[in-house]
Structure 1
Amino acid sequence: MAAKFILKTSGDQFMFNLQSGNGQTVLTSERYTTKAAATGGIASVKKNAADDRMYERTASGLRFNLKAANGQVIGVSQNYASEASAKDGMDAVKRAAAEALVDDQT
């Protein structure tokens, strides 16, 4: 299975999840007021995911954020059981984002 961004609605807003090739969600977006903004968020993830400098680990080290060049958080991870697992999650985002297709479920 190929990696994909799942674009969906949440109430009257839009959001996306990035799923790795094994179907696991590795990144979740904020909620956007327009579909165009959510699509722009996907483009930003694709652009920034390969750059180690765009990742920020939380204080516990068990969760991470992916940021855009302007410093805005564009995606957050799940909670991981260990720092090593969180690092694996970042690597999964790096591998998946560039080639992931968009599954528009809106």
Structure 2
Amino acid sequence: MFGKRLAEIRNKKGISQYELAEHLKFTRAQLANYEQGKREPDFETLITLADYFKVSTDYLLGRVDKPASSAVEEYRNVLFYLGTKEALTEEEAEFLKETLVTYRKVRGKY
């Protein structure tokens, strides 16, 4: 699934394997092997590709069908709890995430 998703998203962006390889400092053969399913990326490479295409690693791996998972989407339930109809900004969502991580660290649950 990874290779198919990588080729699909690269083609949608209109980027050749050569262009992508040059930009990310990979070899074209390395990308071709990923797309053909002959090799799988290590974690660092997977993250690099996800960041480049602005998609989640889960999308590249075929675990979800939506290309991107933003902090806004992850914390959408907070809005329902607060009873507000305002959209949560990326900055607010990131703040909430960091606050929760800090809280869990203090409580010994992280």
Task: Give TM class, smaller chain.
Answer: under 0.3
Write 1 or 2 for the structure with the bigger share of helix: 2
Query: Which structure has the highest strand share of the two?
Result: 1
TM-score by length of 2: 0.24
Larger Rg over CA atoms: 2
